[in-house]
Amino acid sequence: MPWKECNRMDERLRFVARLLDGEKMAVACREFGISRKTGYKIFNRYKDEGLKGLDDRPKSNYRHPNQTPFQVEKAILRIKQQHSTWGAPKIQEKLVKEFPAIKPPAPSTIHCILDRHGLVKRRKRRRHKAQGTPLSDAQVPNGLWCADYKGQFLLGNHKYCYPLTITDYRSRYLLACEGRESVKEAGAFPVFERAFKEFGLPNAIRTDNGVPFASAHALFGLSKLSVWWLRLGINIERIKPGNPQQNGRHERMHLTLKKEATKPPSFNFLQQQDRFDDFLEGYNNDRPHHALNGLYPGEVYTPSARAYFQPGVPEYPFHDRTIRVTQCGRICIGRRKVNFSTVFAGQYVGIREIADSIWLVSFMDSDLGFFDQQENRVEPVGENPFALKL
């Protein structure tokens, strides 16, 4: 008979009662489905402690061979109270001088002891909060492009479609309208690359603060897509969160797109994309635009003189060294690994020592942050260096 997990106390009582009635240990253990070693342990606990001995006991170890001796722990707390500004490495050095005969705990162990007694002052990490950037009012084609995902809708085959759209701010020309399966950046890269190859590069691109244009937890809210734009020499503009009217021209195009190309939706992506292509052609070359005095967007727009190119490795002549960021977003210097940002994975940054054991990290022409000898993490500079260029 197996133990009842939900009521172990009753099972132990029944087991002990059978033994007290004179039943043999082997027979009782066989009936309750336990070993004789466990049976004797339960019965001996009952004889020593009574009913209290049948209660569940904690499963933690009685002994901790690696636990710091309490005398050493008291010494650590005493040193910390005498020198409140000292950290774990300094306290370790002090222990070596006071108790040269014993091996001192590791700095991490000392830090845990201090933290357990509430003697560690935690620094508040700055969290990125999405903010808008200065917005331009481009008066020439390709001075500013606008990009966004129109709200997703359900196709006839019960799959969601996320239309990615790109327009020219000045001419209202619809550069791209592509149905995507999600808003992941992997689907956005080829759409922008095709637009860059066909129409050239704009001076700036305006988006909202959502994926894949921005990343809420990355350095300065950048994403892999926006880092790629920076490598191409394209400035980044972001509207203020909760203010879609700052991208009003693009949102107005979405209203027309919704009415003419998504209701009712097509059955699959191929059929829906065919409707998007027809809408793009009609919107650009067959639909007079009131804001353009009745002209077609195709009559106003001209391709950019800045041709698309594959960016090479940036040069940092005024830095100590150029380092390629790992795929996990770290800067590796010898055996040391400094946490940076995964959005810069594969990119080259410049490292320069600006003070004693303090290094500056730069990307292209912008300074991003600092790290020192103690912290294996890049702390960002106060202002967004990319927003200042706009």
Render each residue's pLDDT in the chain as its tens digit; 390 residues.
Answer: 444 444 677 888 888 888 888 888 888 888 888 888 888 888 888 888 887 777 776 655 555 556 778 788 888 899 988 888 888 888 888 888 888 888 888 887 888 888 888 887 755 545 545 565 678 888 999 999 999 999 899 999 999 999 999 999 999 999 999 999 999 999 999 999 999 999 999 999 999 988 899 988 888 889 999 999 999 999 999 998 888 899 999 999 999 999 999 999 999 999 999 999 999 999 999 999 999 999 999 999 999 999 999 998 989 988 889 999 999 999 998 888 999 999 999 999 999 988 777 889 999 888 888 888 877 888 887 677 766 443
Give me Rg for the CA atoms of the chain. Answer: 34
Could you identify the residue written with the tokens 């020593």? 48
User: Using an 8 Å Cβ cutoff, are 250 and 170 in contact?
Assistant: no
Q: What are the helix (H) ranges across the chain? A: 8-20, 25-32, 36-49, 70-82, 88-98, 107-116, 185-199, 224-231, 248-261, 269-285, 297-300
Tokens at residue 69, please? 């001796």
Tokens at residue 290, please? 């009131």
Q: How many CA atoms lie within 13 A of 223 on its CB side?
A: 21
Q: How many CA atoms lie within 13 A of 328 on its CB side?
A: 5
Distance CA 121, CA 48 (A): 48
User: Using an 8 Å Cβ cutoff, are 325 and 351 in contact?
Assistant: no
Q: Can you give the pLDDT at residue 11?
A: 84
Neighbouring CB atoms inside 10 A of 158's CB total 6
Q: Can you give the pLDDT at residue 84?
A: 84
Amino acid identity at 167:
T
DSSP single-letter state for residue 124: P
